[in-house]
Amino acid sequence: MTESKEQDQLLKRINELAHKNKKEGLTEAETRERTRLRREYLKNFREAMRSNIEMMRIFDNQGNEVTPEKVRKIQRKKGLRDD
């Protein structure tokens, strides 16, 4: 899965704070920023993963669709399926 520029920037800043924390420690404001950035990064990651899964169709070796019914229902609700 490719990451967006926003995710790349979040990860870069999270890593900067992690390195600073190892070297010299973080201020209270930096600790709050790190926590906020981690939450935002994970939220974005989960949304992207959920979207990818909801768009996916799974087929067996014989070419029969075996997408789980739970995913099919979500796809129907979003108008991604005709059946």
**Is 82 part of a structural domain of the chain?**
no
Q: How many domains does the chain have?
A: 1
Task: Render pLDDT for 16-37 as a digit per residue (tens, 0 to 9).
Answer: 999 999 999 999 999 999 999 9
Which structural domain range is residue 9 located in? 5-77
Residue 83 vs residue 11, higher pLDDT? 11
> What pLDDT sits at residue 2?
55
SS3 state of residue 67: coil
pLDDT of residue 3: 67
| 4 Cβ contact list (under 8 Å, min separation 6) | 44
Residue 83 lies in a domain: no
Choose among 17, 24, 20: nearest CA to 38: 17
